[in-house]
Chains A and B, each alone.
Chain A
Amino acid sequence: MSVRKPFEQTYYPPVPTKLTQFFRTNLIWQFFRFLILNVKILRMVRKH
Chain B
Amino acid sequence: MARLLILGAGIAGQTAALHAKNRLGSGHEVVVVSPNSQWNWIPSNIWVGTGYMKAEQVTFPLAPVYKKTGVTFHQAKAVSLHPEGDETTTQPFVTIEYTSPEQRGTTAKITYDYLINSTGPKLNFGATKGLGPEANSLSVCTYGHADQTAKALQTVIQRMKKGEQQTLLIGTGHGNCTCQGAAFEYLFNVEYELRRQQVRDKARVIWISNEHELGDFGMGGMFIKRGGYVTHSRVFTESLYTERGIEWITQAHVKEVMPGETAYENLDGEEKSVKHDFAMLLPPFSGVGLKAYNKAGEDITSELFAPNGFMLVDGDYTKKPYEAWKPEDWPETYQNPKYKNIFAVGIAFAPPHAISKPMISVKGTPIFPTPPRTGMPSGVMARQVTYNITDMMNGKETAPTRKASLAHMGAACIASAGANFLNGTAVSMTVYPIIPDFEKYPDTGRELGSTSGEIGLAGHWIKHLLHYAFIYKAKANPFWRVVPE
Task: Report A's interface with B, CB cutoff 8 A.
Answer: 1-2, 4, 9-10, 12-16, 23-27, 29-31, 33-34, 36-38, 40-45, 47-48
Cβ A24 vs Cβ B245 within 8 A: no
CB of B354 within 8 Å of the partner chain? no
In angstroms, Cα B428 to Cα A42, docked, is 13
Chain A residues whose CB sits within 8 angstroms of the CB of B456 once the complex forms: 23-25, 29-30, 33
Q: Is B462's CB under 8 angstroms from A25's CB?
A: no
Alpha-carbon gap, A27 to B454, bound state (A): 16
Given A2-B245, A30-B456, is A44 in contact with B239 using a C-beta cutoff of 8 Å? no
A19 vs chain B, min Cβ distance (A): 13
- Residues in B432-485 with C-beta less than 8 Å from chain A: 432, 450, 452, 454-459, 461-462, 484-485
Q: Choose, from B56-64, B305-313, B407-415, the stretch at the interface.
A: B407-415
Residue of A nearest to B456 (CB): A24
5 tightest A-B contacts by CB? Answer: A13-B238, A2-B245, A34-B458, A44-B410, A33-B458
Distance in angstroms between the alpha carbons of A4 and B241 in the assembled complex: 12
Number of contact residues on B: which range applies?
Answer: 35 or more
Complex alpha-carbon distance, A41 and B484, angstroms? 10
Q: How far is the CB of B38 from chain A (nearest CB, A)?
A: 27
B300 interface hit (Cβ, 8 Å): no
A13 contacts B241, CB within 8 Å? Answer: yes
Q: Which B residues lie at the A interface, using CB under 8 A?
A: 235, 238-239, 241-245, 247-248, 376, 380, 384, 404, 409-412, 422-425, 428, 430, 432, 450, 452, 454-459, 461-462, 484-485
With A47-B409, A48-B380 in contact, do A10 and B432 touch (Cβ < 8 Å)? no
Complex CA distance for A6 and B44, rounded to whole angstroms: 38
- Evaluate contact between B450 and A43: CB separation under 8 angstroms: yes
Q: Which of B404, B423, B428, B450 contacts A37 (CB 8 A)?
A: B428
Contact partner, B412, options A29, A34, A41, Cβ 8 Å: A41
Of the A-B pairs whose beta carbons lie under 8 Å apart in the complex, a sample of 14, sorted by A's number, is A9-B238, A13-B238, A15-B239, A24-B455, A24-B457, A25-B425, A30-B456, A37-B459, A37-B462, A41-B412, A43-B410, A43-B430, A47-B450, A48-B410
B242 touches A13 (CB 8 A): yes
Q: Which of B243, B247, B450 contacts A16 (CB 8 A)?
A: B243
Q: How far is the CA of A31 from the CA of B129 in the complex (A)?
A: 47
Contact between A25 and B243, CB atoms less than 8 A apart: no
What is the bound-complex CA distance between A43 and B447, given in angstroms?
A: 13
Q: Which residue of A lies closest to B459 (CB)?
A: A37
Interface of B is mostly: mixed
Number of A-B contacts (CB under 8 A): 92
Q: Which of B239, B404, B454 contacts A13 (CB 8 A)?
A: B239
Q: Known: A16-B243, A24-B457. Is A44-B450 also a contact (CB below 8 A)? A: yes
Contacts of A48 in B (CB 8 A): 380, 384, 404, 409-410, 485
Complex CA distance for A24 and B459, rounded to whole angstroms? 10
Residues of B within 8 A of A16 (CB): 239, 243
Q: Which residues of B contact A24 (CB under 8 A)?
A: 425, 455-457
How far apart are the CA atoms of A30 and B432 in the complex, in Å? 24
Q: Does B235 lie within 8 Å of A14, measured CB to CB?
A: yes
Q: Is the CB of A44 within 8 A of B238?
A: no
| Interface pair A25/B423, CB less than 8 Å apart | yes
A31 and chain B: residue at smallest CB distance: B458
Bound Cα distance from A26 to B412, whole angstroms? 23
Picked from A14, A27, A31, A33, the residue with its CB within 8 Å of the CB of B239 is A14
Shortest Cβ distance from residue A26 to the other chain B in the assembled complex, whole angstroms:
8
Which chain B residues border A37 with CB–CB below 8 Å?
428, 454, 458-459, 462
Asked if residues B430 and A40 are in contact (CB atoms below 8 Å), the reply is yes
B411 cross-chain contacts in A, Cβ below 8 A: 44
Taken together as a complex, chains A and B put the C-alpha atoms of A35 and B263 apart, in Å, by 45
Residues on A with beta carbons closer than 8 Å to the beta carbon of B459: 37
